[in-house]
Structure 1
Amino acid sequence: MKKLLAKFVDEVWYRDHFIGTWLMPLSFLFTDIAKFRRWLYKKGYKPVEKLPVPVIIVGNITLGGTGKTPLVIYLVKQLKAAGFTPAVISRGYGGQSASWPVRVNAESDATLVGDEPLLIAQQADCPVAVGPVRAESARLLLQNEKIDVIISDDGLQHYALHRDIEIVVIDGERRFGNNFCLPSGPLREPQERIQEVDFIVCNGGTAEENEILMKLEGADAVNMLTQQRKPLAEFSSTNSHALAGIGNPQRFFDLLAKQGLACQTHAFPDHYAYTERDISFKSAQAIFMTEKDAVKCQSFASAQHWSVPVQVSITSSFMQQLIALLKT
């Protein structure tokens, strides 16, 4: 059911604009509520908590993934190399912990803390905490760690937390869909909101004026059972399947195709909770998945299963500008 709903929504928001127009009255109402809610925070009618360290928001204005988490991991590594001590907070979407906030480490259970925070903890090697109230997660880390900057994975619309730098990530291929706000389109806020942020990062596609182009590149696969690493090109003549439960699964399938793989593809909703049956294909010699999917499938993966690590490629001037802004 969830897969069918995701497919229907994708069709309405990004392909068949006619259907979306029937929901426009609700979208107008949603837009007004979003604007009024933000106005309440701006005018001080709703409290905004300011932390003792700078906060960088990495978010988006569309529903669904745009590539924020790989950028967060990249930012953590780059900031550490520049002498900072960063930490990450997140909503922990999909996590089923009995209490919040929660510390996340490399051994945490994705079903409790969420897939993206676990991936960040495993790859970025920094303090990570999750919870619906991001300021509470930040305080948890500040009480126990020496931190000089906090990165929020998502949270652009979480105005209860003061932010010093805002980075918006957009999907360079799908952009803003039909340009409507929810529910007739994918926008969480009107499109003009991005003109107020500090950096607009375009993930793939063609960057427009004032946008910074980011590419996610991957040429290898890592076996989820043995940790063997092989070039993707070596699987070009293999009977392969590929699955992805991310915001835009086609982006992952295109990455594999660029490496010469002709996979049978299986798209799942973002943050999908996999079972062993979901990732089992009897005829497959190799089954590829994103790292985000892999953290949820590790416990029942077989020698058939391979995760595909990706690296962020972005102009070096972006970090130079970000660090300069952070220091001010």
Structure 2
Amino acid sequence: MFKLHHWFEQMWWRPSPPPLWLRVVEALYSGISQIHLNRRAANITTPALPMISVGNITAGGSAKTPFVLWLAEQLKAQGYRPVILCRGDGGQNRSGKRVSRDDQAAYVGDEAKMLADLSNCPVISAADRIAASQMAAELGDILILDDGFQYRHMQRCCDIVLIPVEGIGNGHGIPAGPLREPVQALARADIIIRTGSTSNKQLCEKLGDWHEWQWLTAPLDIIDLMKTGIPTPKHVYAVTAIARPERFFNDLTSSGLSLIGTKAYPDHYAFSASDVSDILKLGEHIAITAKDAVKLQSLWPKERPLWLLPQQGHAEAELLSTIQHYLPQRKNPAASDRVS
């Protein structure tokens, strides 16, 4: 299964055309998907709170979750009280649930757990995001919908689409390529942002006449989640279960670390105790991402270090004020309502 997943991902991001049989399946999938999206748009509802949607047109690897964390932090600094809505991919929960620090990633989803742990904002994980938006009405004053560009059931005041700096791969739709929708769908977006790492700033050519903002992440020094007191290593073995894992590997090397080896699991992979036993055999110092940490830390032996590579987001000037321009005017919040 891992090899098949790796083959598809490599094929998607190569410049060469995919096999003919996949292009036939692509045409069928695209037609069915468009009918589904149009039905969603025909039954649109208005959530109780103003909503910012953060999404993409490619499958994974566009830094949605780190961007949502950054956006929530920036809005809080402006006095807003954001509530984050997410689907809970990779989790067993199917009903609406406010995520707590005691919840397991296997139940609420790895990204939902990561958002709850790091954002200090209410996070609701639910497959039915309309119901989730109703739950959020008493928890804040603005919604951030994670992975919402194709979720056209709900009205939004700002539609943000993230595109990897590397572009759209081979330009084909799922399953022949990474595109969830044709590039022309970007006409629905209010703000288009290129995302990537400061270790890879090379942009592919623009996809249209619209303005493309930049939002890049920079790796910080690795930290030991288990707090073993072991000195920071110079050599690590990189293990991750994210889309586009090569970004993580590049960030490790750009931060001055040497890679002994790498192992990539499929995105949203649910690590087991058996997996941890296998990973521990790879090397003394294992490096992971924040998304992996919410699944691995509880399974990790306390005497072994587990090295997290934190990331810090950097926005192009005026991006935040441009996002705020789309938000409805509000009364100045009372000082007691402000969140520092």
Fold shared by both chains (TM-score > 0.5): yes
Instruction: State the match for 1:306 in structure 2.
Output: 307
User: Once the two structures are aligned, what percentage of the paired residues are identical?
Assistant: 32
User: Is residue 2:270 matched to residue 1:273?
Assistant: yes
Query: RMSD in angstroms over aligned alpha carbons?
Result: 2.0
Q: Which amino acid aligns with 1:164?
A: C
Instruction: State the match for 2:144 in structure 1.
Output: 151
Write the deviation string for residues 96-140 of structure 1: whole angstroms up to 9, x where unpaired: 12x501110222110110011111111111111111111111111
Q: Distance in 2 between matches of 1:40 and 1:103?
A: 28
TM-score by length of 2: 0.87
Q: Distance in 2 between matches of 1:23 and 1:5?
A: 14
Instruction: State the match for 2:187 in structure 1.
Output: 195
Where 1:194 maps in the other structure, the secondary structure is helix
Instruction: State the match for 1:214 in structure 2.
Output: 215
Mark the CA change 1:51 to 1:286 in structure 2 (over 3 Å): closer, same or farther.
same
Taking the TM superposition and a 5 Å limit, the aligned residue runs for 1:96-115 are 96-97=92-93, 99-115=94-110
Question: Is the 1:222–1:307 Cα contact (8 Å) retained in structure 2?
Answer: yes
Question: Is the 2:54–2:148 Cα contact (8 Å) retained in structure 1?
Answer: yes
1:155 Cα deviation (Å)? 2.1
Instruction: State the match for 2:316 in structure 1.
Output: 315
Alignment length, in residue pairs? 315
Q: Distance in 2 between matches of 1:88 and 1:176?
A: 27
Q: Which amino acid aligns with 2:57?
A: I
Taking the TM superposition and a 5 Å limit, the aligned residue runs for 1:45-84 are 47-84=43-80
1:55 Cα deviation (Å)? 0.9
Q: Distance in 2 between matches of 1:178 and 1:48?
A: 32
Question: Is the 2:17–2:170 Cα contact (8 Å) retained in structure 1?
Answer: no
Mark the CA change 1:110 to 1:89 in structure 2 (over 3 Å): closer, same or farther.
same
Question: Is the 1:167–1:201 Cα contact (8 Å) retained in structure 2?
Answer: yes
Write the deviation string for residues 36-76 of structure 1: whole angstroms up to 9, x where unpaired: 3333444x3xx211112111111111112310000001111
Mark the CA change 1:139 to 1:227 in structure 2 (over 3 Å): closer, same or farther.
farther
Instruction: State the match for 1:121 in structure 2.
Output: 116
Instruction: State the match for 1:86 in structure 2.
Output: 82
Q: Distance in 2 between matches of 1:229 and 1:115?
A: 27
User: Is residue 2:131 matched to residue 1:136?
Assistant: yes
Q: Which amino acid aligns with 2:80?
A: F
> Mind listing any 5+ residue stretches in structure 2 that lack a counterpart?
330-340
Question: Is the 2:49–2:141 Cα contact (8 Å) retained in structure 1?
Answer: yes
1:197 Cα deviation (Å)? 0.4
Q: Which amino acid aligns with 1:171?
A: P
1:228 Cα deviation (Å)? 6.3
1:26 Cα deviation (Å)? 2.2
Q: Distance in 2 between matches of 1:19 and 1:48?
A: 35
Question: Is the 2:40–2:151 Cα contact (8 Å) retained in structure 1?
Answer: no
Instruction: State the match for 2:293 in structure 1.
Output: 294
Q: 2:172 aligns with which of 180, 185, 207?
A: 180
Larger displacement relative to structure 2 (245-254 or 217-226)? 217-226
Q: Which amino acid aligns with 2:98?
A: R
1:89 Cα deviation (Å)? 0.5
Where 2:8 maps in the other structure, the secondary structure is helix
Q: Distance in 1 between matches of 2:212 and 2:221?
A: 28
Q: Distance in 1 between matches of 2:195 and 2:241?
A: 17
1:16 Cα deviation (Å)? 6.9
1:315 Cα deviation (Å)? 1.5
Question: Is the 1:89–1:152 Cα contact (8 Å) retained in structure 2?
Answer: yes
1:211 Cα deviation (Å)? 1.3
Mark the CA change 1:18 to 1:179 in structure 2 (over 3 Å): closer, same or farther.
closer
TM-score by length of 1: 0.90
1:213 Cα deviation (Å)? 1.4
Instruction: State the match for 1:12 in structure 2.
Output: 11
